[in-house]
């Protein structure tokens, strides 16, 4: 179980509360400062609750400190961390000749089941060869992540041109193909793994006349995802049709469609 919400209440008897520094330490040894030498020269924390959602910050308040206050640090730092284990409340006193008493402390801890995560061993490495802007290049990351989710498993590494490839290496470039509104992009494998139909390397080319338009109308991610499937050859092209939700040509290129944008 992981932490969903966390509040903490202390009752401390001490003169000059601004001598005190109070810190909560989680099971993973992460530290969050609750208060550090604040509250003025009056006495005691009396049922003081530290809550990120409180209306008033502990920094703005003077003792006696009663009620709910935002801590100096963020208790939300503990969210989604493991709840099980030893939680430690650390109190330090900067005054040498004064003492105090921790009467009680407690945590109101709400836990939840961690969200399941999908892990994949399949890697897609992208190498840009020019012709695309930084914003256009950034769209390749979610496309590659989508394929890494769909393709379950791992391929043995292979050496191509003196470089180790795990699992597929794709070259990407923006080039002049046939002008605006015609072929949007084309792709395919370069090096095929021996004894298989699976590529080790491939190339994706996009028409520079269409790149900015596709980026503006939001279709670039779809085209990239489709062409990345074409690099995956037979397996990838079949999955690409499913992801796209519409029929594609059997060839490994996308063309513009006046109604749908791609067909």
Task: Give pLDDT tens digits along the chain (263 positions).
Answer: 889 999 999 998 887 777 889 999 998 888 999 998 876 777 788 899 999 999 999 888 777 778 999 999 999 989 888 888 899 999 988 877 677 889 999 999 999 887 665 555 778 888 898 888 988 999 998 888 888 777 766 778 888 888 888 888 899 999 998 888 888 888 888 888 887 777 888 899 999 999 999 999 989 998 898 888 777 644 444 334 434 433 333 334 454 442 222 22
The total number of structural domains in the chain stands at 2
Q: Are the CB atoms for 168 and 201 separated by under 8 Å?
A: yes
Per the structure block, which two tokens stand in for 192?
């095929």
CATH number for position 71: 2.60.120.260
Instruction: Return the residue matching tokens 């900015």.
Output: 212
Task: Give the H or E element holding residue 82.
Answer: none
Q: Are the CB atoms for 68 and 60 separated by under 8 Å?
A: no
Per the structure block, which two tokens stand in for 31?
């530290």
Which one-letter DSSP state was computed for residue 78?
G
Domain termination site, one of 112, 143, 159: 112
Residue 263 resides in a domain: no
Range of the domain at 61: 2-112
Backbone angles phi, psi at 38, to 5 degrees: -125, 165
Helix (H, G, I), strand (E, B) or coil at 244: helix
Taking the C-alpha atoms of residue 56 and residue 102, their distance in angstroms, rounded to an integer, is 23
Domain termination site, one of 89, 112, 135: 112
Per the structure block, which two tokens stand in for 201?
């390397």
Q: Are 94 and 138 in the same domain?
A: no
Measure the CA dihedral 146/148/150/154, to 10°. Answer: 170
Strand partners, 206: 174, 185
Q: Are 53 and 142 in the same domain?
A: no
Cβ neighbours, 10 Å, residue 132: 20
Helices (H), 131-232: 134-138, 140-150, 208-217, 220-231
Residue 117 resides in a domain: no
Q: Are 17 and 93 in the same domain?
A: yes
Roughly what angle, to the nearest 10 degrees, separates helices 220-231 and 140-150?
Answer: 50
Residue 180 resides in a domain: yes
CATH number for position 237: 3.40.390
Q: Are 50 and 18 in the same domain?
A: yes
């Amino acid at each position: 179980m992981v932490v969903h919400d966390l509040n903490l209440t202390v009752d401390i008897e001490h003169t000059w509360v601004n001598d005190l520094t109070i810190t909560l330490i989680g099971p993973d040894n992460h530290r969050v400062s609750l208060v550090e030498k604040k509250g003025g020269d009056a006495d005691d924390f009396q049922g003081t609750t530290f809550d990120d959602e409180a209306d008033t910050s502990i920094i703005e308040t003077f003792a006696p400190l009663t009620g709910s206050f935002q801590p100096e640090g963020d208790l939300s730092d503990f969210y989604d961390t493991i709840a099980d284990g030893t939680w430690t409340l650390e109190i330090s006193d900067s005054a040498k000749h004064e003492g105090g008493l921790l009467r009680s402390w407690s945590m109101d801890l709400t836990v939840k089941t961690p969200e399941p995560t999908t892990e994949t061993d399949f890697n897609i490495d992208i190498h840009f060869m020019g012709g695309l802007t930084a914003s256009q290049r950034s769209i390749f990351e979610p496309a590659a992540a989508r394929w890494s989710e769909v393709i379950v498993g791992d391929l043995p590494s292979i050496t191509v041109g003196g470089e180790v490839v795990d699992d597929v290496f794709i070259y990407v470039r923006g080039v002049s193909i046939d002008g605006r509104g015609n072929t949007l992009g084309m792709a395919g494998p370069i090096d095929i793994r021996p004894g298989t139909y699976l590529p080790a390397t491939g190339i994706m080319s996009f028409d520079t006349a269409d790149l900015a338009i596709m980026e503006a109308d939001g279709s670039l991610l779809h085209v990239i995802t489709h062409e990345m499937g074409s690099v995956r050859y037979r397996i990838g092209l079949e999955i690409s049709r499913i992801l796209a939700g519409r029929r594609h040509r059997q060839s490994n290129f996308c063309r513009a469609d006046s109604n749908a944008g791609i067909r």
